[in-house]
């Protein structure tokens, strides 16, 4: 059984920004204007396509995951839930100027996801940081600097 809904038309990067989260709590974004939806961006010192390539590698290891689009600074992925095959859209955008990888994770249907999108993105963050550290490329910026760059105070 699958409860399919088409991909939203507002996905992608426009003017250096991912789409805003809807009013429902089933979305997180590093560019959200409110704390309910906001989540800390990933940090990287990479000035090339390696951050997105690493994220794509991590995504390929996730169950029920399809990479829909990948460019040098953007990655779009669909995650499907185990039981009903609900689809969540996940996007990553590497802003090389700031050294941040912004992301957005949102459910296509329903209102609450019981924190699934936030937990997933925190797990991806842990994997990303672990692999960067193993490669010797861990960023050393403070949380305050990240908040400043993200425009959240």
**Domain positions in the chain:** 27-138
Q: Is 12 exposed, middle or buried (0-12, 13-18, 19+ CB in 10 A)?
A: middle
pTM comes to 0.83
Averaged over successive runs of 10 residues, the pLDDT of the chain (153 residues) comes to 66 96 92 95 92 97 95 96 82 96 88 81 96 69 46 46
> Which residues 6+ apart lie within 8 Å of 23 measured at CB?
none
Tokens describing residue 23: 């009013």
* Pairwise CA distance, residues 75 & 65, whole Å: 13
Q: 118 forms bridges with which residues in the sheet?
A: none
- Residue 62: the pLDDT is 93
Where do the H-state alpha helices sit in 42-115? Answer: 50-60
Tokens describing residue 31: 């560019």
Annotation: CATH topology of 27-138? TATA-Binding Protein (3.30.310)
């Amino acid at each position: 059984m699958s409860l399919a809904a088409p991909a939203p038309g507002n996905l992608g990067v426009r003017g250096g920004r991912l789409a805003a989260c809807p009013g429902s709590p089933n979305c997180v974004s590093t560019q959200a204007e409110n704390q309910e939806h906001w989540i800390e961006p990933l940090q990287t010192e990479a000035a090339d396509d390696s951050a997105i390539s690493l994220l794509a590698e991590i995504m390929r290891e996730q169950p029920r995951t399809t990479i829909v689009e990948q460019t040098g600074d953007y990655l779009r992925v669909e995650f499907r839930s185990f039981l009903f095959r609900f689809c969540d859209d996940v996007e990553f955008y590497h802003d090389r100027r700031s050294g941040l990888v912004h992301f957005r994770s949102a459910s296509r249907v329903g209102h609450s996801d019981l924190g699934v999108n936030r937990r997933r993105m925190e797990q991806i963050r842990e994997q990303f940081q672990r692999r960067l550290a193993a490669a010797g490329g861990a960023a050393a910026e403070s949380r305050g600097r990240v908040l400043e760059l993200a425009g959240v105070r």
